[in-house]
Amino acid sequence: MPDFDVVVIGAGSAGSVAASVLSTQTNVSVCLIEAGPDYGPFEAGRWPSEILDPRLRPRTHDWGFVDSRAKVVGGCSAHNQCAAVWGLPEDYDLWGGAGNLGWSYKEISKLIQEIERCSVDSLTEWRGKDGWLPTRHYRDEELASWQLAFLESTVSMGYSRIADLSAPQPGEGVMPFHANVYKSTRWNAAFAFLDRARGRRNLTVLPNTLAEKLLFEHKNARTLVCQSGSDTLEIRARQFVICAGAYSSPGILMRSGIGPRTELERLGIRIQRDLLGVGKNLQDHSVVSVEFELSEHGLRALEQDVVEGSFHESQVILRARSVHCKGPFDLHLAPYQTTADSGEYVSAVLACDMVPQSRGSIHLSGTDAELPPSIDFGFLTDPLHQDASVLIDGLRLIHRLAESGPLATMIESRTPRPDAMKPGESYSYVESHVDGYAHPVGTCRMGQLSDSLAVVDSGGLVRGTSNVYVADASIIPTIPRANTNLTCMLIGLKIAKELSIRLLRS
Ligand SMILES: Cc1cc2nc3c(=O)[nH]c(=O)nc-3n(C[C@H](O)[C@H](O)[C@H](O)COP(=O)(O)OP(=O)(O)OC[C@H]3O[C@@H](n4cnc5c(N)ncnc54)[C@H](O)[C@@H]3O)c2cc1C
């Protein structure tokens, strides 16, 4: 194995962008390590159909953690529902306001232009138009029946249709979302960004290679130890950029000796840097759902969607305000239909708390890199119980929606019935059914030196190291009020651009 200038670990939403930028904007040698397989450029035609089909979430290429995570080049962008939504300007201003230089909305908005290429007919001032990731919003005539019925029921309840879920105003409203769907394909980060760099001689992609840990010489990491089949590889480089996602990036740091002293000592890992924040500050939008038994009419509509190929799991989002809301909105409500393991269709509406107050954590289950992390989501642990209250309000809203407009005609019965619940029962329901929106972030948070839980600085550099960066969902200090894919791509772009400039100067 030759030495490299830069090793990027993880070819997901952020890592695909980071490797592409480092390769195309410099002449330094870049090695991209990915635990899952690589099917080559989109045009090669070797990608499995379930990864390409944007209508259904793939069940293959998963890490098998307690939460779904993709193990394939493209990462979770190759697995997700393709909702392309930016955080609100205030969300990024919160990061900038916490002392993270360069992260205010004004500063990142030019990077939005470099990420997204929104189709002309659905472009708004809150979207990019010159980037590499094609997006457009679903048209009404493309909507599956359940999605359309939800949309029309929200309108019949008085919600207005809005033009962009990335726009800060109006806070409330509904729309078929913008999606990174192009050529009827889930256009993942590898197609949008990595394919541009694949022919370049300075880029090496190593799939099916599990990054275990970094070995240090003083402040510098020098070697990445990986497993490839039954072989152990030692890859030497000048710079390391960890993009393994919010569940795995803290694990790589901890196995390398960077993390909370007590946790590392418990596992007998030699300490390089005592960094309390590694694995802390886990955030996801918490979710509860209501499942519906369909009426004859609902069943017929579903069958017709399946036969016609118009069945989609998710296409529409309503932004709404709970009674606790202090900003423009604090809830996403989303109609969702999928197949259960039994093969039966499940029809549901999700209520998602977009301003979660609770925090969880990630821990190593052992020193073996093959072991899944131990994930404590921490849902509903906020001391004022605000998250539970928001979700209970979301349940009530779902109940009202289910009685309005076309949705009512598609439903036979529902579980639970929030209207029939005694005081305390709705809390018990939320407590026993709470889940995540698949948007974990924050486990290597970015912050100033004075922030005791900060793991990286505003350039992604891990505190106390001189050449180890984290650039993915992990560095997000507070979760934006949006689905997280686009923001992760932007993080990969920003940190890789800044590193490229430093490499060109050195
Ligand atoms: C089912 C699902 C639906 C979602 N829907 C949406 C949506 O509609 N819209 C939206 O905006 N967001 C959505 N998200 C969230 C979004 O996709 C993620 O926030 C985003 O992809 C995270 O990017 P990342 O780069 O941080 O991590 P990832 O994309 O997860 O990339 C991490 C990569 O690192 C690799 N890796 C991990 N550990 C190692 C290791 N030790 N060695 C080598 N490689 C490693 C992984 O295999 C993976 O390829 C969804 C997520 C899921 C799972």
Q: How far is the CA of 70 from the centre of ligand 1 (A)?
A: 6
Q: Give the nearest ligand 1 atom to 472 CA.
A: 26
CA-CA distances (angstroms) from residue 254 to 238, 282, 326? 20, 15, 37
Domain co-membership, 328 together with 387: yes
CA dihedral 408→409→415→417, nearest 10 degrees, is: 40
* Cα(247) to centroid(ligand 1), Å: 9
Which ligand 1 atom minimizes the distance to the CA of 73?
A: 49
392, 411, 433 - which closes a domain:
433
Report the CATH number at residue 457: 3.50.50.60
- Domain count for the chain: 2
For the chain, give the mean pLDDT.
96
225 assigned to some structural domain:
yes
How many residues can be counted in the chain? 506
Number of C-alpha atoms within 13 angstroms, CB side, residue 101? 6
Residues with CB under 6 A from ligand 1: 9-15, 33-36, 57, 68-71, 75-77, 79-83, 210-211, 243-245, 248, 252, 369, 438-439, 472-473, 483-486, 488
Evaluate if residue 422 carries a pLDDT over 90.
Answer: no
Minimum-distance ligand 1 atom for the alpha carbon of 210? 42
* Two structure tokens written together for 430: 């939320």
Residue 459 placed within a domain: yes
Cα-to-centroid distance, 436 and ligand 1 (Å): 14
Among 137, 485, 489, name the best residue to mutate to test ligand 1's pocket (greatest count of ligand atoms within 8 A of Cβ): 485
Compute the average pLDDT of residues 478-498. Answer: 98
Residue 243 scores a pLDDT above 90: yes
pLDDT for 229: 94
Residue 416: per-residue pLDDT: 64
Q: What does the DSSP 8-state code read for residue 360?
A: B
Domain assignment of residue 270, yes or no: no
Domain assignment of residue 364, yes or no: no
Tell me the HSE value of 12 on the side-chain side, using a 13 A CA sphere.
Answer: 33
Measured CA to CA, the distance from residue 61 to residue 36 in angstroms comes to: 7
Same domain, 171 and 191: no
Task: Give me the pLDDT at residue 424, please.
Answer: 79
pLDDT(407) > 70: yes
- Residue at 362 is within a domain: no
Nearest protein Cα to ligand 1, atom 16? 485
Identify the burial level of 201 via C-beta atoms within 10 angstroms of its C-beta, where 0-12 means exposed, 13-18 middle and 19 or more buried.
Answer: exposed
User: 20 and 74: one domain?
Assistant: yes
Mean local confidence (pLDDT), 294-315: 97
- One domain, residues 312 and 456: no
Q: Which atom of ligand 1 is nearest to the CA of 369?
A: 41
Closest residue by Cα to residue 377 from 310, 423, 434: 434
| pLDDT band at residue 2 under the 50/70/90 scheme | confident
pLDDT at 43 over 80: yes
Residue with the smallest CA separation from ligand 1 atom 3 is 80
Residue 292 and residue 321 share a domain: yes
What is the rounded average pLDDT of the residues 296-316? 97
- Dist. CA 157–CA 40, nearest whole Å: 47
**pLDDT over 90 for what percent of the chain?**
95
Collapse the DSSP code of 166 into the 3-class scheme (helix H, G, I; strand E, B; otherwise coil) and give the result.
coil
> 120 in a domain, yes or no?
no
Domain match, 290 and 395 both: yes
Q: Which amino acid is at 356?
A: P
CA of 69 to the centre of ligand 1 (A): 6
Write out pLDDT tens, residues 381-400: 999 999 999 999 999 999 99
CATH, residue 387 = 3.30.410.40
Whether residues 158 and 197 share a domain: the answer is no
Q: How far is the CA of 473 from the centre of ligand 1 (A)?
A: 8
Same-domain pairing of 307 and 395: yes
Q: Is residue 373 part of a domain?
A: no
For residue 296, report the distance from its CA to the centre of ligand 1, in Å. Answer: 38
Q: How far apart are CA 9 and CA 259, in angstroms?
A: 18
Rounded CA gap, 14 and 210, in Å?
A: 17
> Are residues 305 and 413 part of one domain?
yes
Q: Which two tokens stand for residue 118?
A: 């929104």
Q: Tens of pLDDT along 14-25? A: 999 999 999 999
* Domain C-terminal end among 388, 406, 433: 433
- Return the closest-CA partner of residue 466 out of 238, 252, 224: 238
Atom number of ligand 1 nearest to Cα 15: 25
The predicted-structure confidence for 249-270, as pLDDT tens digits, reads as follows 999 999 999 999 999 999 999 9
Using a 10 angstrom Cβ sphere, with 0-12 exposed, 13-18 middle and 19 or more buried, the burial of residue 449 is: exposed
Average of pLDDT values for 195-213?
A: 98
Query: pTM value?
Result: 0.98
How far is the centre of ligand 1, averaged over its atoms, from the C-alpha of 154 (Å)? 31
479 plus 333 within the same structural domain? no
Q: Supply the range of the domain harboring residue 332.
A: 139-176+286-355+380-433
- Nearest-CA residue for ligand 1 atom 18 is 485
Laid out side by side, the sheet with 116-118 consists of 116-118, 133-137, 178-179
What's residue 418's pLDDT? 62
Q: Are residues 463 and 498 in the same domain?
A: yes
290 within domain boundaries: yes
Instruction: Say whether pLDDT at 183 is over 70.
Output: yes
Residues 465, 424, single domain; the answer is no
Ligand 1: atom nearest CA of 249 is 38
Single residue among 396, 412, 433 that ends a domain in this structure = 433
Across residues 227-248, what is the average pLDDT?
Answer: 97
Answer yes or no: are the C-beta atoms of 465 and 455 closer than 8 Å.
Answer: no
Categorize the per-residue pLDDT at 419 as very low, low, confident or very high, splitting at 50, 70 and 90.
low
